[in-house]
């Protein structure tokens, strides 16, 4: 594999890990529960 492909693969995995970590607090919750725990800021 060339360097560009490896860098893209690493970036993909890092993006996946970051998205998974950021989505954890709301995973498997209903919309109402998410809004109660994290109310919108006005």
pTM of the model: 0.63
pLDDT digits (tens, 9 = 90+) for 9-39: 999 999 999 999 999 999 999 999 999 999 9
With vertex at residue 19, the alpha carbon angle to CA 16 and CA 23, rounded to the nearest 5 degrees, is 140
User: Distance (Å, rounded) from C-alpha 5 to C-alpha 17?
Assistant: 18
What's the full length of the chain, in residues? 42
Q: How distant, in Å, are the alpha carbons of 4, 15, 16, 18, 29 from that of 10?
A: 10, 9, 10, 12, 30
Position 42 scores a pLDDT of 81
The alpha carbon of residue 5 and the mean position of all alpha carbons in its chain are separated, in whole angstroms, by 22
């Amino acid at each position: 594999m060339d360097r560009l492909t490896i860098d893209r693969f690493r970036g993909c995995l890092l993006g996946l890990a970051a998205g998974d970590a950021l989505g954890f607090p709301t995973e498997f919750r209903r919309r109402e529960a998410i809004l109660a725990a994290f109310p919108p800021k006005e």
